[in-house]
Amino acid sequence: MEIIDAIILGIIQGLTEFLPVSSSGHLELGKAILGDNSLPKESLLFTVVLHFATALSTIVIFRKDIADIIKGILKFQWNEDMQFLAKIVLSMLPAVIVGLFFEEQLEQLFGGNIMLVGCMLIVTAILLFLADKAKDTNKNVSFSNAFVIGISQAIAMLPGISRSGATISTSVLLGNDKTKAARFSFLMVVPLIFGKIAKDILGGEITYENSNFTVLGIGFIAAFVAGLFACKWMIALVKQSKLTYFAIYCIIVGAIAIIWSLL
């Protein structure tokens, strides 16, 4: 892999991890348009490095929140921080169940099914549009809300459904504060990313042979910087009710994908 490829892939990962446009859906569309062999074949190690970079950018943005959660754990008290952590754990359950028991069935959907991607992008657009129209409140995410948001995160494992778009929209439609919805959405995925990284490492699926650590490092930096930018930008967009622009984009791309699949 060339350095320019690492930079491009790092930026794409950093942006699409937070912006509600579905990175998996765009990857499937890219494969269909350019052909599988036309895209850089990054290794699993490179993919893990990029995901680690975006997880780290989330930690940096929400470092104060994470520090408060750690302090709450050390106090061994059922305070607000401990309750927030419990909600994060609860929200992870649906995605963990899907990942453990339906991984093979899920992988079968990532085989150039452009019609599915197009339809799911339209679904993402509808969710974003509805979320933008929702009234802002000061409500915190409840335990029942956390589980429902977790279900939307599990559904977002489908190609074309944006994880951030689905979870933030679901949270807002449940009546939660928009800024708190974005905060919860971004923090809830961090344990899942680290869990997936640990699974890949312990499973022995990652190989370090013939690895170009310069390329890995550049890809990491690109994903980390792009992630910092996208995370801050997304929080501002949710707060200002400007998700409709992404909804329009998803509708256009989704419609093109559906038409493409019918030709």
Domain layout of the chain by residue ranges: 3-262
pLDDT tens readout for residues 205-233 = 666 666 677 888 998 999 999 999 999 99
Helix (H, G, I), strand (E, B) or coil at 109: coil
Question: What pLDDT is recorded for position 40?
Answer: 46
Question: What pLDDT is recorded for position 125?
Answer: 94
What's the pTM? 0.84
Cα gap 73→56, rounded to integer Å:
21
Count other Cβ atoms within 10 Å, centred on residue 190.
Answer: 18
User: Nearest CA to 154 among 81, 82, 91, 209?
Assistant: 91
Question: What pLDDT is recorded for position 209?
Answer: 63
- The CA-CA-CA angle for residues 90, 98, 148, to 5°, reads 40
Positions of the chain with pLDDT lower than 50, given as ranges: 37-42
- The CA-CA-CA angle for residues 103, 57, 74, to 5°, reads 85
